[in-house]
Structure 1
């Protein structure tokens, strides 16, 4: 977990927390979403998300703004991250990554394929998961360990989102929450297709989750 003082800007605090979760070779970044962030969408990206509303496009623009910078740092010539038919970001050849946002903050992670086969990220507000959603998210095989059930539910939601993003690149399977078993005591998740992934999370200043293939 990563705490922040009240004087630390939220984006900086989130960035520090995300850096603390990332394994070697994975670059991270975050940005507070602004309504004008739609301008950061490149033409190919804009075309791939043309049907989305302005607020969603602003969030996508904020996420792509981060992704573009990470790709430049990785030495990628092509920095466009278009949206696939299932909503998945399509990263340039030789790179992998993941983008996520809540209502206020966008985050992204990226790596070269020779350093990481896949990676998934999610961000959520640091609030308990609504009680009616917990039975949908949680499965009998999940192990929350000593996490508070309320906040633990939100962490579980974020972790399963990150796991799905990481696993989709590896096998292309669409998974439900019930298809992912998370064990917070071992720090691993297993999908119904047999993929095993390492999971890491932070609760403050926002709930952040990262998933990548177990080694």
Structure 2
């Protein structure tokens, strides 16, 4: 959680870090950081070049996310900390590492693991607010199972879960997926994609909606 920063973590950062670590599995490291205006400074040269066309706010969010990712990689003993942006916006991790980065308007989060711990992982963070009504029929399909989630937040939770699943599936299949192509059962914590891959999914709804998807 904002490791190495000169500023003490805020209550929100601490709460999100605790919630994220509650979702993490053995071998998975996770962290978060509040996005600050100058966080683009944390982009390494190759990382900065890979997102050169992004606007200032997006660069700050990318810098915050990579700041967390760099510190997690250091904890795994890596010296090559570069995480560039791939052609489809996906992070390009060092060899033998899987990981994921996400952000909303306030916080950036990252998760990393060695490939001997899991094959792929995805994370997403969203505000704990209802999903806009026009997005509900796009995100929620008949194949999804929402369980007894609060109806006001169920759509946003499913949105976050499908984002996390997509991030976990893309490095394996290289396929862009629509929301309607991902089937999620939030009661059992399982999900499937058209390739036949199965993913496990976990989520929390406070203080932010966090979703973590992985396949072993």
Q: TM-score, normalised by structure 2?
A: 0.94
Please give the per-residue CA displacement for 1:125-176, whole angstroms capped at 9, x wherever unaligned: 0001111110011111000011122200000000000000001111111100
1:202 counterpart (201, 204, 208): 204
Please state whether the residue corresponding to 1:59 is helix, strand or coil: helix
Q: Where do residues 15-164 of structure 1 align in structure 2 (5 Å cutoff)? A: 15-164=17-166
- Give the superposed CA RMSD: 0.9
Gaps of 5+ in 2: 1-9
Tell me the distance in 1 between the aligned counterparts of 2:199 and 2:78: 26
> Residue 94 of structure 1: CA displacement?
1.1
> Residue 77 of structure 1: CA displacement?
2.2
Matched residues, number: 207
Greater than 4 Å deviation, 4+ residue runs = none
Moved more, 69-78 or 153-162: 69-78
Please state whether the residue corresponding to 2:116 is helix, strand or coil: coil
Tell me the distance in 2 between the aligned counterparts of 1:127 and 1:109: 23
Paired position in structure 2 for 1:188: 190
Tell me the distance in 1 between the aligned counterparts of 2:155 and 2:121: 22
> Residue 76 of structure 1: CA displacement?
1.4
Tell me the distance in 2 between the aligned counterparts of 1:94 and 1:187: 26
Paired position in structure 1 for 2:3: none
Gaps of 5+ in 1: 1-7
Please give the per-residue CA displacement for 1:10-69, whole angstroms capped at 9, x wherever unaligned: 000000000000111000000000010000000000000000000000000000000000
Paired position in structure 2 for 1:165: 167
Q: TM-score, normalised by structure 1?
A: 0.95
